[in-house]
A and B are shown apart, each in its own frame.
Chain A
């Protein structure tokens, strides 16, 4: 029997709204988590999940709406009250002290005065009770990422939580560890603790959760029972039933300009995702999109393609030339340019002027003679980019950091596009950019493709991908789901690929 129906919900949010500048992060969100219930919070990036969770933990104050704990309204939630009520959160990126032991980390996190011996005993007891193997005496830097997550969970459990929030917990776990985690969560739920489980992985939610709330664009778009609803329907809910119209004219694609064969790359840092056997072919004149929720290997893929990380030579080809072993500057000489995700600090140097930033990637284009920079030519190029792309700034001598995000992005796009590359890599090209600049940038990419260049766009923004791409592939867990032409994609197929349910998208019947 559903025993938690008679009792008041552990947490009830009503009409929660929060605005950041021009963005409505949360809009009139209602959420109910029952006692002992495992409740999924489903949505893509930017759907508003992290803002909502920060509000629940008291780190952010909502503009409107109420929070009720077991039918009692909490007028002003803050971290101390949240802690006292029993709200605990396991973050996606842990904050542990690597050179200290597990017990020492927990002692610091709990701010407890008890002795190490007493605490270690409590840690051992809790970890045994929930099947979370942690050794209090081990140093954190010896632990795998899965083990570190267990430390974080034990730390939460020692505070006797009544609501445990888990943010994308399985992205760093092996399949066996995922099973172990689920066993533990179910036991917790049986003991009466409620669990708010944030994820975009549909199969897991179906296997674990009792209820699901779907967020999109800051709003609740659906509530469902994942045990009954099919993953296909949930996927559609996550990405939206109707996909944006595309303006792309069908064109005959040319010869392959970028070929990736069997790209496998280990992750650079413990929170990264390893790439596994990626194959892709980008043809001249086409725009190929790579969709996917952040954290599934996008960073690693771009680093490998742009040349910031090198691999075996034949793995990556530009045209017919092998370039896998070449660095970024060399690949530029072969006609590849790259628009990175981070503008200031990576795509441009904040303290330098626009004119000087033009040189950052264009030094191989005849702007340097015998070691000396041809400043006149660099300035002319910068000025042409400035004019053509309508960059709003105090002139090409303005410091890069004085520009707005949209204008800086326009400049960087213009700089990379200006040399008519054969291959252009673009990472989230309109993220954080205003509407006008976004339109201009997208049009620029379309025009570039029309001249015969091949463009690879990695983005989380499905609307953007559908607007400009010819084909779209999906990156999940470091593996690439092969691309399909945009006309043959449905919300269900794309959503399921992003949710990890399917490894290959079926062609439309």
Chain B
């Protein structure tokens, strides 16, 4: 995740392929026409670890969820092979949470936010605090589906995601703050999943 890891002050320890490149994907589709489906799809990136801050070592969790309402059109190239085309809006939502001691809460949160470039110190925090950001985007994908049986299939898709993410639009306890500079505006995406059909 370009931008997120280039933080000189706070080191994010859980960097690996699973937390940066692989997204957990699930979805539900309804076939409303012979050649078209509408559904809900979610791609999630999750990371958890411990931060090494000056005051303490709080537990840290970060999740990015791309929620999609895809419109998919398709045709059967062969009785067992299908080609599909997906266009979808995205509602992206990122969350960062930190479990700190009540006595170190302000220092820890301010240190984390300062590392992202935020200069205003926080004055208001609650029992459970989280940094949240919402954005919109769109995505396009082309895929091939191979039916192993009439109900079960394997689906491979490739395409892109365009996210209107803004670094300045994070909020914690309804206060606007500056978050990590993630470069997720233009991402190529590849997805592989198993499909089970019901009627």
Q: Do A and B bind each other?
A: no
Could you tell me which B residues sit within 8 Å of A by CB distance?
none
